Structure 1
Amino acid sequence: MKEVKIESTLFVFENLEELPKDVAFLMQKAIEARGKAYAPYSNFNVGAAILLDNGEIITGSNQENASYPSGLCAERTAIYYAGSQFPAAKIVRMAISATSATKPTTSPIPPCGACRQAIAEYEIKQETPIEIYFMGETGAITKSASLANLLPLIFDKSVL
């Protein structure tokens, strides 16, 4: 048996003011999208904003359903819309913001596993990394230079 060590490198910005202006603008779009979430069951609102290489910004918010598996996270709402409307465009970066009606969200909240897998599909397809910035309602923002950095053991078509 041998031990394998996997490391990820993340960058932490203390607040929105520390972000580069273009990233702060994208995060503001994610915050605005968060306000459009439909989350009557979890009371957990998430907004995502995606910058495409053609300059378009696509936003999405989580949309819940009484049949829980039928809902969709903000990240996948945005990424699937981008893929359907701009199939040739590459995703440059994604900003995510989440808040809870039941407790403060002051720590960065990363994408869930299902969203990481969906983002991975697009990162692999476009053969370029997707920067991901994520935060709670307020406070620090975490940056990952790529989805592969957040999900180092990616499940992709090579195993099928």
Structure 2
Amino acid sequence: MKKLTVKSEFSIYDTVGELPEEIRRLMEKAVEVRKNAYAPYSKFKVGASILLENDEVVAGNNQENASFPSGLCAERVAIYQAGAVFPNVPIKAMAISASSDKYETGEPIPPCGACRQTIAEYEINQRAPIAIYFMGKSGKVMKSESLKDLLPLLFDKNTFI
């Protein structure tokens, strides 16, 4: 028997103000769109913004539905919008902010598993990492240099080809 050790590294910023200017603006956009999320059932609001290689910014927020779980997460709303409006333009970075009407979200909240798999698809297709910055409503911001830090043993098209 052999063992496999998998390691991930993250950068941690104590506040949004410590982020590089371009990323700070990206996170501010995620916070702004988070406030307009449609989350009447979970009371958990998420905003995501994406910086593209052409310097365009695309944003999305979670959209719930009474037929739970047929809604869509903010990260996927944003990434699918980027793919629809700017096909074949690589994604440089994604910023995510999450809050709850039920409890304080002061710790960084990463993307869910379904969103990680979606981001992986885009990262693999563009053959370049996507920097992912994530936070709660306030407080620290974590940075992942690549989706592979969040999903190290990812499932991709090469798995079954």
Name the TM-score, length of structure 2 as normaliser: 0.98
Correspondence for 1:9:
9
Correspondence for 1:155:
155
Counterparts of 1:145 and 1:119, CA distance in 2: 13
Correspondence for 1:81:
81
Counterparts of 1:114 and 1:142, CA distance in 2: 19
3-state SS of paired residue (1:51): strand
Deviation digits for residues 23-78 of structure 1 (CA, Å, limit 9, x no counterpart): 10000000001011000010000000000001110000000001112100000000
Counterparts of 1:152 and 1:81, CA distance in 2: 25
Counterparts of 1:159 and 1:130, CA distance in 2: 21
Shift of residue 159 of structure 1?
A: 1.7
* Stretches (4+) displaced over 4 A: none
Identical-residue share of aligned pairs (%): 58
- Give 1:35's aligned amino acid: K
Correspondence for 1:38:
38
Correspondence for 2:68:
68
* Mapping of residues 49-128 of structure 1, within 5 Å: 49-128=49-128
Shift of residue 132 of structure 1?
A: 0.1
Q: Which runs of 5+ in 2 are unaligned?
A: none
3-state SS of paired residue (1:99): strand
Counterparts of 2:29 and 2:145, CA distance in 1: 20
Name the TM-score, length of structure 1 as normaliser: 0.99
Shift of residue 17 of structure 1?
A: 1.1
Counterparts of 1:4 and 1:101, CA distance in 2: 40
Q: Which runs of 5+ in 1 are unaligned?
A: none
Correspondence for 1:129:
129
Counterparts of 1:70 and 1:45, CA distance in 2: 16
